[in-house]
Structure 1
Amino acid sequence: MPELLEGLRFDAVLRLGSRELTLGDAVRLQSGAGLRLDRQIDEMVELVVSGRVVARGEIVIVNGNYAFEVTEVAPEQTRKESVEWPTSIQ
């Protein structure tokens, strides 16, 4: 990987699960409300970049902070495609 790209930043999201809501349901949410997600507690968490799953793993605690421990990595091509490269770098 060229050094130019080593410092490239991108947004990543850890997806624990999802739930479809109506706008009305979202507006009526209150502190303390619970939302049931589409995953079981023992299922892996997904690391998502630009809408693509690039890794899966577990949530762990390290020095009192939450952390993501990678247990599976998507194929290299999938990971490369998840980054929106400026046309001058492609």
Structure 2
Amino acid sequence: MAASPDAMDALFLQDIPIELVVELGRTRLTVKELAALGRDDVIELDRAASQPLDILVGGRVFARGEIVVVDDRVGLRITALTGSSHDGGR
């Protein structure tokens, strides 16, 4: 039996690469403040150090997580999936 067109579309879409962005936090600077930044300056962000990071797909928060180290590289452990289709009782 052949797969339905909807099933074929779903299979095709699974292989399309997407960009995942992890957001540490945000802040606002004036152009003057930005131009004055130099090596070793610290930019304070709006997120507490203990707060989970946002994981965005297509500009929308998909999940939240925390930084981990994996073989000397930065990684992210997902601590929560957002949205009604991903809650799954978590």
Unaligned stretches of 5+ in structure 2?
1-6
Q: Distance in 1 between matches of 2:34 and 2:58?
A: 24
Q: How many matched pairs?
A: 78
TM-score when scaled to structure 2? 0.76
2:57 equivalent to 1:54: no
* CA displacement, residues 51-81 of structure 1 (integer Å, 9 cap, x when unaligned): 2110001000111111010010112659xxx
2:77 is paired with a residue of what secondary structure?
strand
2:40 equivalent to 1:32: yes
Percentage identity across aligned positions? 28
**Is the radius of gyration larger for structure 1 or structure 2?**
2
Kindly indicate whether structure 1 or structure 2 has the higher relative contact order, using CA contacts under 8 Å at least 6 residues apart: 1
TM-score when scaled to structure 1? 0.76
Cα deviation, residue 9, structure 1: 1.5
* RMSD, matched Cα: 1.8
For residues 11-22 of structure 1, the aligned pairs below 5 Å read 11-22=19-30
